[in-house]
Amino acid sequence: MDTQRLILTADDNAQIRMLVKAALRSLGHELVEAVDGEQAVELAFERTPDLVLLDVTMPKLDGWEVLHFLRHRPETASVPVMMLTTAAQKVDLEHGASLGCNDYLTKPFSPGDLRTHVERMLAE
């Protein structure tokens, strides 16, 4: 990659955050972590990431609420968002699409799949 990008990961599960960090470290981007939805919104508005990886089920604000806030603020409205979640029913996918989710990767996921999705999203 020619330029370092900022990736925000929001997940209340420390193991998932560690897995994401380990999987993406080799891409050379800056990674910031949020432990709940409220912190995710604060960090996104403060830093304007190039990509957001969001869990759906989080304390304070869930991933859908975070996505809603991101899409309704001019500086984050066009930031690509990928949901990383176990919520993978058709209704979840449709709800995510209606809110402006750009991609979906269901847990459990492989590090290779995550890297592939992230690289594709950052290239768009």
Domain boundaries, the chain: 6-123
Over residues 78-88, the pLDDT tens digits come to 999 999 988 77
| Bridge partners of residue 83, in order along the sequence | 54, 104
The token pair at 23 is 């999987």
Is 6-123 a CATH 3.30.2290.10 domain? Answer: no
Over residues 15-42, the pLDDT tens digits come to 999 999 999 998 999 999 999 999 999 9
Average pLDDT over residues 63-74: 96
> How far is the C-alpha of 103 from the C-alpha of 116, rounded, in Å?
12
